[in-house]
Structure 1
Amino acid sequence: MIEKYLGISSDYVIIGLAGLVLLTMILLIVFIVQMAKLKKRYKIFMQGNDAKSLEDTLVYRLEQVDELIEANASNERNIDMIFKNMKDCFQKIGLVKYDAFNEMGGKLSFSLCLLNEKNNGFIINAMHSREGCYTYVKEIIDGNSIIQLADEEEQALQQAIGGI
């Protein structure tokens, strides 16, 4: 009947279909072997090391992530607190050594300026002479002093502010 419509012998059709069935059987066997290997690997994967299950590992890792998130939040709070405290700490320093009196040598006198972030602080001026050492403190507010500054004190202030 096939010979009438297609002009092909039925023997060729049967041989072709048999070849197709044989090829399908070979592919089926290959897929079954691959599936068995995949199942074996899946069981090994799910068992984990030392009979520890994958679920236990995931739960442990999620707990670690939660701990890290909490530690990070704590670190951020601590950093914010440190930055708030640093605003009031002395961050800027200026130091000028000089000879207060001509008869003295070695530049034993000095002006030391300590300022915070907002340029508030003080200048310590220590003048060394043969009779002794005299120390003065002048308050600095917004980078300025109410009391007039000596040249060395002004230099120390400018160093601290960053002008020199």
Structure 2
Amino acid sequence: MELFNYVGIDIGYVLIGTIGFSIIMFIMLIVVLVKQNKLKKRYNAFMEGNDAKSLEKVITERFNEVDAVKEKLQVVDGRLEGIDKILLTTYKKMALIKYDAFREMGGNLSFAIALLTETNDGFIINAMHSSREGCYIYAKEIVNGQCDMILADEEKQVLEKAMSK
């Protein structure tokens, strides 16, 4: 009391402030208890589950399903890695040019075809057709987009066309 007199605060104001604070705290306690009761009811309803199944059982089943999906995903990832390796060696790029090799009447029956992998490895087949002399077929190997042999103009065109894809 002496402290309040020393500071110059009336004890009545302190008492009214304390009672007001207690009332506010009491109201807040009631609000918290009501909210807790509602939450407890919702929790109990949630834990009951459907058709007499417990929520724990449902959650356990879902975790088991997730584990099974993870295992299958690992198997699929392994298979995809193998497929990716195989795809690096498959022919993905292709180009075809038809032309008249001997400038004869009869159309563009000759052709050059290039088949290349992703790394531009593969081959060119050049089939030159002549109505008088028959058909000549040549195959040339391509490594990294280059050929050790001299390429005809049509072969160069078909190689460039295939590599640009």
Partner of 2:104: 103
Amino acid at match of 2:103: N
Unaligned runs of 5+ in 1: 1-5
Structure 1 residue 59 displacement after superposition: 0.4
Report if the CA contact (8 A) 1:99-1:109 is conserved.
yes
Looking at structure 1, the residues matched to 11 and 138 of structure 2 have their Cα atoms a distance apart, in angstroms, of 122
Structure 1 residue 110 displacement after superposition: 0.5
**TM-score, reference length from structure 1:** 0.73
Partner of 1:155: 157
**TM-score, reference length from structure 2:** 0.73
Q: Matches of residues 1-150 of structure 1 in structure 2 within 5 Å? A: 37-131=38-132, 132-150=134-152
User: For each residue in 1:3-40, what CA deviation from the matched residue of structure 2 results, as whole angstroms up to 9, or x when unmatched?
Assistant: xxx898xxxx9xxx9xx99xx6x998887776655444
Partner of 1:3: none
Structure 1 residue 122 displacement after superposition: 0.8
Amino acid at match of 1:158: E
Looking at structure 2, the residues matched to 141 and 30 of structure 1 have their Cα atoms a distance apart, in angstroms, of 80
Looking at structure 2, the residues matched to 35 and 7 of structure 1 have their Cα atoms a distance apart, in angstroms, of 37
The answer to which of 98-107 and 44-53 deviates more is 98-107
Q: CA RMSD in A?
A: 3.0
Distance change in 2, residues 1:100/1:55 (3 Å): same
Report if the CA contact (8 A) 1:104-1:129 is conserved.
no
Amino acid at match of 1:74: V
Structure 1 residue 114 displacement after superposition: 0.7
Aligned pair count reads 149
User: For each residue in 1:44-102, what CA deviation from the matched residue of structure 2 results, as whole angstroms up to 9, or x when unmatched?
Assistant: 21111111111011101111211222222222212211111111111221211111121
Give secondary structure in 2 for the equivalent of 1:50: coil
Give secondary structure in 2 for the equivalent of 1:55: helix
